Chain A
């Protein structure tokens, strides 16, 4: 049976190193299977987080050969078996142990987004075309790979000023909802810090749900921020025509 060499990060937020493990490869194997084999045969204390092994729970995010990916969605036959495969924890979050990171930052950002607020006495009928946009964003499995790859968090560590792409799509799904009346534009600008995003689209590149994060959520929100803060002529027209 062919063997592939894995270099897996072992350590915690204080530090650590890549440890070599040989894994026997069988057909159809994914990187998460390789981690199971290492746990079963070589390192029972290897920490990994996983749940579904079906690319639906968003738990098994890691960096495989430097690319933020789901371990359960990365087949070994897509990797070069002649080179060692590196598996490291997500870099934008503090490491708890080995491949497990502390992603609680995300839940704290989420709490700052005002929830869905319907009009009093809402008629709950909606047409499909009115919710199409929000439904794309609802596909999110909260794997936080987009957060991990976003250079604003990953390289510039702007966790206090920038909420990250996952939360901009959540804000977009609420803002674009036909029955929601809450106004989140000021918080999208100031608290989620949308101006920090320079639309370089890495979030879109890594999203396993193939959500068009930048084109369909962030840029439309940036345009809404422009409507509010940077478009004096548009504002005048709205005042005179009484349109929203």
Chain B
């Protein structure tokens, strides 16, 4: 850099003056930090364990961690691996992790929660070799839109699974009746609604749908898309938490059902 930006005649400021957690703030800034650590920690570990555990199916219901169903066919599960030796059944987990892990909101959340970079605003940091997102591994964040494409495909499968929950015959599961308005169907419906709201507020989508234009009025349909995406985007954090929580709750519901704990609840659904 040719220009010297530090003020001439003054000492350049030195990095890392404060130290980890050092601040003069008197308000409970750490509450948000702690909430994020606990929330992301619990839900993250749950999602990881659930995706590894198997038993993601109960009657016409398929856990979102095991969608699409064809990846879970026993034959594929045991035999099929990608060239890199990755079992195909792990694809949903990679897509979910990749999409959420590079999401602009979650980046903020985990940089603050797990890297204290910074833990709170105007709160000191420990590290002195900061390079932000200019180096590996964080350069991967630039691939967020690709994960968004994959997640959108996954979302189409999840909508399909939800239709199958209501109308099992559609997915070749007519043994569970032709119509099933069970509690689980609605649990899954809420799940796809929340995931759709989260995905539609994605910053990359907001950019690609219309934000990249300088002349917004030149393409009215893209402007309309951008406006709609912006509405969801403004509450992206809320969608992120609600959908993360509910995806785990949906899995838990289907898992407990599959283990035989919830039979009676589904009686009025029609498939028992």
User: Is the CB–CB distance between A66 and B25 below 8 Å?
Assistant: yes
Interface: B5 (CB within 8 A): yes
User: Is the CB–CB distance between B108 and A191 below 8 Å?
Assistant: no
Please choose the segment from B51-59, B80-88, B211-219 that sits at the chain A interface, where 4 or more of its residues have CB less than 8 A away.
Answer: B211-219
Proximity bits, B1-12, A CB within 8 Å = 1, else 0: 101111100111
The answer, among B18, B26, B212, for a CB contact under 8 Å with A155, is B18
Interface: A158 (CB within 8 A): yes
Please choose the segment from B42-50, B91-99, B130-138, B152-160 that sits at the chain A interface, where 4 or more of its residues have CB less than 8 A away.
Answer: B130-138
User: Is the CB–CB distance between B11 and A80 below 8 Å?
Assistant: no
A66 to B25, CA, bound (A): 4
Please choose the segment from B120-128, B192-200, B249-257 that sits at the chain A interface, where 4 or more of its residues have CB less than 8 A away.
Answer: B120-128
Given contacts A157-B13, A205-B121, contact A199 B25 (CB under 8 A): no
Interface: A75 (CB within 8 A): no
Interface: A92 (CB within 8 A): yes
Please choose the segment from A35-43, A46-54, A215-223 that sits at the chain B interface, where 4 or more of its residues have CB less than 8 A away.
Answer: A215-223
Chain A residue nearest to B130 in the complex (CB): A156
Chain A interface, number of residues (Cβ within 8 angstroms):
69
The answer, among B17, B108, B122, B214, for a CB contact under 8 Å with A180, is B214
In the complex, which residues 134-186 of chain A have their Cβ closer than 8 Å to any Cβ of chain B?
149, 151-152, 154-162, 175-178, 180
User: Is the CB–CB distance between A94 and B145 below 8 Å?
Assistant: no
Interface: A26 (CB within 8 A): no
Interface: B171 (CB within 8 A): no
A-B interface pairs (CB < 8 A), number: 169
The answer, among A86, A159, A175, for a CB contact under 8 Å with B6, is A159
A177 to B213, CA, bound (A): 10
Interface: A19 (CB within 8 A): no
Interface: A20 (CB within 8 A): no
User: Is the CB–CB distance between A63 and B24 below 8 Å?
Assistant: yes
User: Is the CB–CB distance between B122 and A65 below 8 Å?
Assistant: no
Chain A residue nearest to B15 in the complex (CB): A157
Given contacts A13-B11, A156-B15, A200-B111, contact A83 B26 (CB under 8 A): yes
The answer, among A13, A160, A220, for a CB contact under 8 Å with B1, is A160
Given contacts A67-B122, A80-B26, contact A155 B6 (CB under 8 A): no
Interface: A10 (CB within 8 A): no
The answer, among B10, B117, B128, B144, for a CB contact under 8 Å with A151, is B117
> Which residues of B sit under 8 angstroms from A197, Cβ to Cβ?
132-133
Measured CB to CB, the closest approach of chain B to A97, in angstroms, equals 12
Interface: B270 (CB within 8 A): no
> Which residues of B sit under 8 angstroms from A176, Cβ to Cβ?
214
> Which residues of B sit under 8 angstroms from A239, Cβ to Cβ?
none
